[in-house]
């Protein structure tokens, strides 16, 4: 049934097993926004035996490497990332939380130096499931998607 | 070598500074070196003691002056300011209203950066002089102490730096504050991770007889929605001779200064009062820091 809703791609990356409603946040993590020239397909609320409902994202002609894939773990810890070449899956990555997150999240502390005009990207350290701003020490306590830059 | 916060200093690093401060004498060790003082917020003790420390080691200082009279007023970023100043000086002392400012500065320059206070974040050299003062006045080892830290624990950067440092030595900490000014979650998490025993209480009366050190801090008026509420809270956290009646004879009373009403003037003459000595210790401790990083 899935194949009818979303076409296979020839080359690119398919992110599967995204929690229902998080597809657009996965695109934000990957830096895919309205300015992109990539062909992007998004399937939301797809029936899934394992997850009940899930989202799927396909980005054509773009290979997502394992480092980028790990950023997806912020939003979709059980996602799978499949790189497709000529309709065949040639690489498969499970995602795992990175040790460090650069430039993806905004610090919620309004007094943090990163929330100014300074020419730096944010850096968060991940340790024991705790995500902490390397500049000011603020720990993210609510949904990570709320802090996507 | 940068000095950004006490969290990243090892226990050995801290002890090395304290030991060096205990023996340091005026010299020409930094003759020909220049220290830049960049204070984006007001300062008396920190600015002047760094200035004095540098001069006692034979070096010189260059001071940005007030923000109002600098290019910061024109909208210059901190990253640009420190890169410019790097060309004028051999080390930078930085105070800034934003948390993480010193870390950012250190990323943009090769000369040592010493954090002299970043927003509500850290003030490591204050902590070093605090520990120096404790060590000078208390016979017990730092790790065997029970330290009460009282006042604005939420926004007070000296409190956060001190708590992280005490954690390294294994001291027992009691935080004394109104519920609205408790230590922030990130500090609490770090202390828990370090396995430090700490508790939080509303008033000092129940614990003062067990303390080796009481570290009072200023409760800032601007943190309260109205003046009456501030006056009520500030009054409850004022140290008076009566507060100290049940304290141990050898209790050491400290304060990073400036004080407003947190310590009554008639406490100054008691054997407990060590806050002026503490302020004076800023010079040898900062001499030791400069001698080690420059």
Provide mean pLDDT across the span B48-62.
98
**CA-based nearest distance A50→chain B, Å:** 35
Closest chain B residue to A137, measured at CA:
B186
**Cα–Cα distance for residue pair A80/A96, rounded to 1 Å:** 10
Q: Above pLDDT 90, what percent of chain B?
A: 76
Does B195 fall in a domain? yes
Residues B216 and B129 in one domain: yes
Same domain, B228 and B155: yes
Q: Which residues contact B98 (CB under 8 A, 6 or more apart)?
A: A111, A112, A113, A116, B78, B118, B119
CATH assignment of the domain containing B128: 3.40.50.1370
The answer to whether residues B101 and B128 belong to one domain is no
Q: Which residues in chain B are contacts of A130 at CB distance < 8 A?
A: 189
Q: At CA A44, angle to CA A40 and CA A46, rounded to 5?
A: 120
Q: What is the per-residue pLDDT for A43? A: 93
Confidence band, pLDDT 50/70/90 cuts, at residue B194? confident
pLDDT of residue B232: 79
Please give, rounded to a whole number of angstroms, the shortest distance from the CA of A51 to a CA of chain B: 33
- Is B267 domain-assigned? yes
Strand order of the sheet with strand B60-63? Answer: B60-63, B34-39, B91-96, B113-118
The reply to whether B82 and B109 lie within a common domain is: yes
Model confidence at A5, pLDDT cuts 50, 70, 90, reads low
Q: Is B186–A138 a contact, with Cβ atoms under 8 angstroms apart?
A: yes
Same domain, B238 and B267: yes
Statement to judge: residues B218 and B241 lie in one domain:
yes
Q: Which residue of A has its CA nearest to B122?
A: A136
For chain A, the maximum distance between any two Cα atoms, rounded to a whole number of angstroms, is: 50
Which of residues B102 and A62 earns the better pLDDT score? B102
Residue B74 is a catalytic residue: yes
**Are residues B189 and B241 located together in one domain of the fold?**
yes
Domain residues for B103?
A: 11-122+281-293
Same domain? B128 vs B274: yes
Q: Quick one: average pLDDT of A9-30?
A: 93
Q: What's the rounded Cα separation, in Å, for the pair A49 and A35?
A: 35
How many other CB atoms are found less than 10 A from the CB of residue A120? 18
- Does residue B164 sit in the same domain as residue B288? no
* pTM of the predicted structure, to 2 decimals: 0.88
B206 touches A: beta carbon within 8 Å: no
B186 or B80, which is more confident: B80
Asked which of A58-62, A118-122, B153-157, B200-204 is least confident by mean pLDDT, the reply is B153-157
Q: Would you state the pLDDT for residue A37?
A: 87
The answer on B108 and B34 residing in a single domain is yes
Q: Is residue B157 annotated as part of the catalytic site, yes or no?
A: no
| Contact check, Cβ <8 Å, A112/B99 | yes
Residue B70 confidence (pLDDT) above 80: no
Q: Do B121 and A116 touch (CB under 8 A)?
A: no
Tokens of B65: 């002056």
Average pLDDT, chain B: 93
User: Does B5 fall in a domain?
Assistant: no
Cβ of A114 and B185 within 8 Å? no
Number of domains in chain B: 2
Catalytic (active site) residue B123? yes
Q: Best residue in A107, A108, A111, A117 to probe B by mutation, most B CBs within 10 Å?
A: A111
What mean pLDDT, rounded, does chain A reach? 89
Residue B102 has a pLDDT of 98
Question: pLDDT at residue A4 above 60?
Answer: no
* Nearest CB neighbour to B186, from listed A111, A120, A139: A139
pLDDT of residue A100: 93
Please tell me which residue of chain A has the smallest CA distance to B155: A111
| Residues from chain A contacting residue B121 (CB–CB below 8 Å) | 136-137
Q: Do A135 and B99 touch (CB under 8 A)?
A: yes
Q: What is the pLDDT of residue B284?
A: 98
Is B96 within the bounds of a domain?
yes
pLDDT band of residue A146 (cuts 50, 70, 90) is: confident
pLDDT tens digits, one per residue of B254-289: 999 999 889 999 999 999 999 999 999 999 999 999
CB contact B189 to A (< 8 Å): yes
Predicted local distance difference test score (pLDDT) of residue A6:
65
Same-domain check for residues B136 and B202: yes
Same domain, B136 and B257: yes
B98 → closest Cβ in A113, A132, A137: A113
Q: Does the pLDDT of residue A82 top 60, yes or no? A: yes
Strands (E), B97-136: 113-118
B79/A contact by beta carbon, under 8 A: yes
Residue B60 lies in a domain: yes
Contacting residues for B58 by C-beta, under 8 A, at least 6 apart: B27, B28, B29, B30, B31, B32
Mean pLDDT over residues B85-90, rounded? 97
Chain A residues within 8 A of B98 when measuring between CB atoms: 111-113, 116
């Amino acid at each position: 049934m899935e194949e009818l809703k979303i076409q296979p791609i020839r080359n690119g990356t398919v992110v599967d097993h995204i929690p229902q409603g998080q597809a657009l946040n996965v695109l934000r993590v990957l830096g895919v926004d309205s300015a992109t020239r990539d062909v992007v397909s998004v399937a939301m609320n797809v029936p899934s035996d394992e997850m009940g409902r899930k989202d799927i994202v396909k980005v054509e002609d773009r290979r997502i490497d394992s480092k980028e894939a790990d950023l997806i773990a912020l939003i979709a810890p059980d996602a799978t990332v499949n790189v497709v070449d000529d309709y065949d899956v040639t690489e498969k990555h499970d995602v795992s939380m990175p040790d460090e997150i650069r430039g993806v999240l905004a610090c919620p502390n309004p007094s943090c130096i990163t929330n100014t005009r300074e020419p730096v990207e944010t850096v968060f350290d991940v340790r024991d499931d705790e995500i902490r701003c390397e500049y000011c020490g603020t720990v993210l306590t609510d949904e990570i998607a709320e802090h996507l830059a | 070598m940068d000095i950004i916060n006490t969290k990243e200093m090892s226990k050995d690093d801290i002890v090395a500074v304290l030991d060096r401060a205990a023996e340091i004498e005026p010299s020409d060790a930094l003759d020909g070196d220049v220290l830049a003082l960049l204070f984006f917020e007001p300062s008396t003790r920190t600015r002047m003691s760094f200035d004095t420390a540098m001069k006692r080691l034979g070096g010189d200082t260059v001071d940005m002056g007030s923000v109002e009279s600098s290019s910061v007023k024109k909208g210059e970023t901190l990253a640009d300011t420190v890169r410019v100043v790097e060309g004028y000086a051999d080390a930078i002392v930085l105070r800034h209203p934003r948390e993480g400012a010193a870390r950012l500065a250190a990323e943009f320059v090769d000369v040592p950066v010493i954090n002299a206070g970043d927003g509500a974040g850290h003030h490591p050299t204050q902590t070093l002089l605090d520990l120096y003062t404790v060590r000078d006045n208390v016979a017990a080892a730092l790790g065997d102490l029970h330290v009460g830290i009282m006042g604005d624990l939420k926004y007070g950067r000296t409190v956060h730096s001190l708590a992280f440092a005490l954690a390294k030595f294994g001291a027992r900490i009691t935080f004394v504050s109104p519920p609205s000014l408790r230590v922030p979650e990130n500090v609490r998490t770090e202390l828990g991770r370090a396995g430090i025993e700490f508790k939080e209480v509303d008033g000092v009366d129940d614990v003062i007889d067990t303390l080796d050190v009481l570290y009072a801090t200023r409760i800032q008026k601007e943190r309260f929605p109205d003046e009456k509420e501030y006056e009520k809270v500030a009054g409850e956290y004022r140290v008076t001779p009566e507060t100290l009646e049940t304290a141990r004879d050898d209790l050491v009373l400290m304060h990073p200064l400036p004080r407003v009403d947190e310590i009554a003037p008639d406490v100054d003459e008691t054997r407990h009062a060590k806050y002026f000595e503490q302020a004076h210790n800023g010079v040898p401790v900062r001499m030791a820091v400069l001698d080690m990083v420059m």
